[in-house]
């Protein structure tokens, strides 16, 4: 096993969480559509293959735009999310130990901007919102890297930094992290929401703080600790 050089993180459930376990898409849909009904139906339709991911993003974002969504409003809404305990400290420690850090997530870039203004990440693969000069939402670019695509994002990261996948780790919590956890040289299931992720992960952590993740990565010249 080669020492890990890069650690990629999921966001919802891994770096931030919501008291009612909602993700940022649901928060925005609830704000701009008044309930989660449409949101839940779109999720079911997407899972049933009725439309692709890009279309799903477009449906939601178009609705927010038609209701005049602004960056300020959306940033306010994002505050309903909470940082996972010790997230900033853990990322800082890992960075200090020489690891490259990245995000591979189906969240909105706004969440990263609001919660991690110190920019600890070398690379962020996520959905990007576009605002005009007045702060009005005018569009979005859907990520190609959610679900199965998360594994491709890790491949791209590895290539960009001339690393092998073996030298890249991933930390995530849910079903959309299974493929990338399998692709990574070392993977951590953080408060896993599905037994499938536990099965494929090299290490499982159940904690209300991200701090135990730092214990697994003692420094980029050393191998991570297996269970």
Per CB under 5 A, does 12 bind Mg ion? yes
Angle between helices 71-78 and 24-33 (to 10 degrees): 120
Q: Which of residues 13-32 bind Mg ion (CB under 5 A)?
A: 13
In the complex, minimum distance from the CB of residue 188 to Mg ion, in angstroms, rounded to a whole number: 12
Distance CA 141, CA 153 (A): 16
Q: Enter the tokens of residue 65.
A: 């735009």
Q: Which residue is nearest to Mg ion (CB)?
A: 13
Question: Nearest distance from residue 72's CB to Mg ion, in Å?
Answer: 26
Among the candidate windows 11-19, 81-89, 123-131, 151-159, which touches Mg ion by CB under 5 A?
11-19
Nearer to Mg ion, 163 or 181 (CB): 181
Identified binder of Mg ion from the candidate list 10, 17, 60, 109, rule CB under 5 A:
10
Interface residues for Mg ion in 123-182 (CB under 5 A)?
Answer: 173-174
Taking the least distance from each CB to Mg ion, the nearer of 16 and 142 is 16
Lay out the site mask for Mg ion across 74-113 (x = CB under 5 A, - = otherwise).
Answer: ----------------------------------------
In angstroms, give the least distance from the CB of 13 to Mg ion. 4
Minimum gap (Å) between residue 218 Cβ and Mg ion: 25
Q: Report angle CA 227, 2, 16 to the nearest 5 degrees.
A: 55
Q: How far apart are CA 175 and CA 193, in angstroms?
A: 7
In whole angstroms, the minimum distance from the beta carbon of 134 to Mg ion comes to 32
Rounded distance, CA 151 to CA 135, Å? 33
Asked whether the CA dihedral 167, 168, 170, 175 is positive or negative, the reply is: negative
User: At what angle are helices 37-47 and 24-33 packed, to 10 degrees?
Assistant: 130
- Do residues 201 and 181 touch, judged by C-beta distance below 8 A? yes
Question: Toward Mg ion, which CB reaches closer, 157 or 178?
Answer: 178
Gap between the Cα atoms of 54 and 132, Å rounded = 21
What is d(CA 225, CA 205) in angstroms, rounded to the nearest whole number?
12
The residues binding Mg ion (CB under 5 A) are 10, 12-13, 173-174
């Amino acid at each position: 096993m080669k020492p890990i050089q890069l650690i990629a993180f999921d966001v919802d459930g891994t770096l931030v969480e919501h008291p009612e376990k909602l993700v940022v898409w649901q928060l925005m849909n609830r704000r701009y559509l008044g309930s989660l009904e449409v949101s839940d139906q779109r999720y079911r339709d997407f899972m049933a293959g009725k439309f692709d991911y890009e279309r799903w993003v477009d449906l939601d974002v178009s609705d927010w735009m038609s209701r005049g969504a602004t960056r300020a409003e959306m940033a306010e809404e994002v505050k309903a999310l909470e940082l996972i305990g010790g997230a900033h400290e853990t990322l800082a420690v890992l960075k200090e130990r020489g690891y490259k850090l990245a995000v591979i997530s189906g969240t909105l870039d706004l969440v990263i901007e609001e919660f991690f203004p110190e920019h600890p990440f070398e690379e962020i693969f996520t959905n990007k919102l576009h605002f005009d000069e007045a702060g009005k939402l005018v569009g979005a670019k859907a990520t190609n890297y959610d679900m199965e695509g998360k594994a491709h994002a890790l491949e791209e990261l590895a290539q960009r930094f001339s690393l092998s996948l073996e030298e890249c780790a991933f930390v995530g919590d849910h079903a959309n992290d299974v493929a990338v956890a399998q692709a990574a040289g070392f993977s951590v299931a953080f408060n896993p929401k599905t037994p499938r992720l536990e099965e494929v992960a090299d290490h499982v952590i159940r904690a209300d703080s991200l701090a135990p993740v730092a214990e697994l990565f003692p420094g980029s010249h050393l191998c991570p600790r297996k269970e």
